Homo-oligomer: A and B are copies of this chain.
Amino acid sequence: MVRVLGVDPGLTRCGVGVVEGVPGRQCKLIGYYVVYTDPDDDISLRLLRLDTELAALVAEHKPQSVAVERVFSQHNVRTVMGTAQASGVAILAGARAGLPVTTYTPSEVKAAVTGSGVADKKQVTGMVTRLLGLDAPPKPADAADALALAICHIWRGGTRARIEAAALAARRGARR
């Protein structure tokens, strides 16, 4: 059982989702949040607020690991710099808490939860709702994306863990 805090970085809206689970099984929703910062505020106040809120959520939920969506320069050019700065602050929040931080591309997340790297937002939200056994989809979409990231990390970490376990078993077998 692993508890993961997923972050869909953004300066105006930053989605955070906390999920617990084991690979390939239904996961358990612990909580989800959206951190808002005021576009009229100074960039330094906005990043400080994001840092403070993320540190508080990490302290509250004590995840074993943090997953952050990777930002590309192909994103919306007008907002991409703010999104990249927010992602830097999110990655730092995990690192300062001494946690491993993994970044995933949007297609890796989509593929992990829907089976298709080009799934749309609605499909992702639908699968997140099912995979967490929720009665209604989480809102807003930033929160659903953050939950998808956390699920992606649990499942892919599981894949990695199985590969490592198999490799270890093979080495042990070879030694016998």
Chain A: residues with CB nearer than 8 A to chain B? 42-45, 47-48, 51, 71-73, 77, 80-81, 84-89, 91-92, 94-96, 100-101, 103
Contact = CB atoms under 8 A, between A and B. Distances in A.
Contacts of A72: 81
**Which applies to chain A's interface (DSSP): helix, strand, loop or mixed?**
helix
Nearest to A71: B81
A51 B81 contact: no
A173 B85 CA distance: 45
A47 B95 CA distance: 8
A42 B91 CA distance: 11
Copies of this chain, how many? 2
A44 B101 contact: yes
Contact of A88 (B45, B84, B103): B84
A47 B91 contact: yes
A32 B23 CA distance: 49
A44 B95 contact: yes
Contact of A47 (B45, B47, B81, B88): B88
A51 B91 contact: no
Contacts of A94: 44
Contact of A73 (B81, B86, B96): B81
